[in-house]
Amino acid sequence: MTSSDLQEQLNLKAISLLHEDADKIQKLIEVQMENLATRYCPLYEEVLDTQMYGFSREVDFAVRAGLLSEATGKQLLSKLERNLALLYEAMNQTD
């Protein structure tokens, strides 16, 4: 394997791991929303903040380690934020 093949392989792996983590956070928040009587519960906000913080630390690390571009990192973060906002909206409409 050439070094550029390896770099590409590591970059793809990093992005796939981050996608996995974003999916996990989304599912966690989804389940939490379904189980909570109210979406204004401070506990929910706290879990969301903590999860987003943890994910942003991972993305930031991957960017600094040269595994993905800053633009891709920002995309991953904003996509997760958007998905969680949509989830929140969908929940509010079923009231």
Q: How many CA atoms lie within 13 A of 26 on its CB side?
A: 18
Tell me the closest approach of the beta carbon of residue 65 to its own copies, in angstroms.
5
∠ Cα 37 43 45 (to 5°): 100
Tell me the closest approach of the beta carbon of residue 9 to its own copies, in angstroms.
9
Nearer to its own copies, 16 or 92 (CB): 16
Residue 77: what residue type? L
Nearer to its own copies, 21 or 30 (CB): 21
Tell me the closest approach of the beta carbon of residue 21 to its own copies, in angstroms.
8
Express the helix, strand and coil content of the chain in percent, nearest 5 each: 85, 0, 15
Binding site for its own copies (CB under 8 A): 1-3, 5-7, 10, 13-14, 17-18, 21, 50, 53-55, 57-58, 60-62, 64-67
Give the 3-state secondary structure of residue 2.
Answer: coil
Nearer to its own copies, 5 or 89 (CB): 5
